[in-house]
Amino acid sequence: MVRVASSQPRKQRKARYDAPAHMRSKFLNAPLSDALKEKYTKKTLRVVKGDTVKITRGDHVGEEGVVDGVNTGSSKLLVHGVTSTKVDGTEVPRPIDASKVEITRLKLDDKRRVEKLGGKE
């Protein structure tokens, strides 16, 4: 989270909105499932395209899908199968906040990500 001395909500929101790119990446952390917490001894990890997540809040609670895209600008995820229906009947992907999902399976193609997890695959 962005460090702000003030506790005023308006300044907290402004700090999040104006955060630089290297800080926005931290807004995309999501909690790991219980099995992954035990295996990697971490609570949260940044969500990347290809991870499998389970939605824990909102209209699509309980649904599980692969992350199709990650938008660092708006700090939202696009999960396969999670859509909203528009008035004309077309379905569009519904962006979901990273804090509202739980990572159930990790994509471990990246060597740096594996190293960050302690070298355990």
Domains in the chain, start-ordered, CATH in brackets? 9-116 (2.30.30.30)
Q: Is the pLDDT of residue 1 over 60?
A: no
Token pair, residue 112, equals: 């740096």
Q: Do 118 and 94 form a contact (C-beta atoms < 8 A)? A: no
Contact 58, 100 (CB under 8 A): yes
How far apart, in whole angstroms, are the C-alpha atoms of residue 40 and residue 87?
Answer: 44
Q: What is the pLDDT of residue 2?
A: 66
pLDDT number for residue 100: 96
**Per-chain mean pLDDT for the chain:** 92
Are 64 and 53 within 8 A, CB to CB? yes
Query: Which residue, 96, 105, 13, is CA-closest to 57?
Result: 96
Local structure of 107: helix, strand or coil: coil
Using the predicted structure, report yes or no on whether residue 3 has a pLDDT greater than 80: no
Question: What are the tokens at 5?
Answer: 């001395």
